[in-house]
Structures are given as structure tokens and as C-alpha cells.
Amino acid sequence: MPRTPASANAIALPDIIPSMPADCITSRRDVLTAGCAGAAIAALVVPVVILPKAEAAPVDPLIDLIKAYRTGLVAFDADPSVRLHDDERTGQRAMETWEGPFLTLEENAPPARTRSAAIEALRLAQDELLREGAIGIVSPLVAAALAYFEGEKRA
């Protein structure tokens, strides 16, 4: 079989590598080499896939109130001055620690927006029943949790 000159075998390909004009590609090896080099350049040029940011946890005012109330109770119980039976000091410390969140939960508990907030509301209601009996925040906490679960049924 007669050999054809290399220039006759050249194929017209776009300039993949600027330093290697298309007319110098004369064999399959040249095509593969140019293709590999082109892929290497493309790998450097193609941007990295940007993954979406992790979604932030949904804001739930109910869970924030519950945490503030629990934190306040811990601070109140840890204060030795409230054990001195000084009603004025005890009342002042209650206002400074747990009473604000308690009053908000009692008078205007927001409905739970997340399952975890609904569960925390029920957990706090149970804790309060065991700690103090049926006090003012139990019913609003149960209502706040129920609002979530009833909305979950509709969805």
C-alpha cells in the first residue's frame, strides 16, 4: 500500500492549542495528543461546580422563647440570693431571668413553625406539669405545638 504524504493526511481541526496549528495534525496520535491537551486546558478553564449553600435552620420564635425561659430558670435557681426569702430580691431576680419569656409564652405563645419547636413545647409543658402543676403556660404551649401538627396534617 503506497504511503501518502503527511500533508495529505492532515485534517482541518480548530486550533485546540494555539501553539499547534490544525494543519500539523497528521495522525491519530496527533489527534489524541491534541485532544488530551485540550481536555487538560478545559479542565483548568471550566469553573468548579458550585454547590448550593446549606440551608439555614428555619427561625422559630417559639423555640427561642423556650430556650430563654429554660436558661432563665437555671440562672434563677443558681442564684443563692433567692433562697434568702427576700421577696423583693426574689421578684427582681425573676424579672431579670425567667419571667419575661414566661409571660410571653403565657400570654402570646407563637405557633410552632418546626417539628423540633413543637416537640420542645410539649416537653416544656410536661416539665412544667411535673414541676409546678397546671400553671399558665401549659395550655398555650400545647396549643402552639398542636398548631404545628395540625398544619402538618393539611400539608
Q: In this predicted structure, what is the pLDDT of residue 81?
A: 86
- The model's pTM: 0.58
pLDDT category of residue 53 using cuts at 50, 70 and 90: low
Q: Among 96, 102, 111, 114, which residue's Cα sits nearest to residue 146?
A: 111
Beta bridge partner(s), residue 20: 17
Whether 145 and 112 have beta carbons less than 8 Å apart is answered as yes
Count of C-beta atoms within a 10 Å radius of residue 130: 8
From residue 38, alpha-carbon distances to 22, 54, 63, 125 in Å are 13, 34, 55, 66
Domain ranges of the chain: 6-45, 61-154
Q: In this predicted structure, what is the pLDDT of residue 57?
A: 67
Q: In this predicted structure, what is the pLDDT of residue 54?
A: 60
**Residue 22 CA from chain centroid, whole number:** 51
With a cut of 50, say whether residue 31 has pLDDT above it.
no
**Residue-wise pLDDT tens digits, 5-26:** 555 555 554 545 555 555 555 5
Q: In this predicted structure, what is the pLDDT of residue 12?
A: 52
Whole-number percent of the chain with pLDDT over 90: 41
Sequence-distant (≥ 6) Cβ neighbours of residue 19 within 8 angstroms: none
Mean pLDDT of 90-112: 95
Instruction: Write out the DSSP string of 59-107.
Output: P-HHHHHHHHHHHHHHHHHH-GGGGG--HHHHHHHHHHHTHHHHHHHHH
Residues 46, 51, 57: CA angle, nearest 5 degrees: 165
Mean pLDDT of 93-99: 96
pLDDT category of residue 68 using cuts at 50, 70 and 90: very high
d(CA 29, CA 26): 8
Tell me the pLDDT of the chain averaged across its residues. Answer: 77
pLDDT category of residue 133 using cuts at 50, 70 and 90: confident
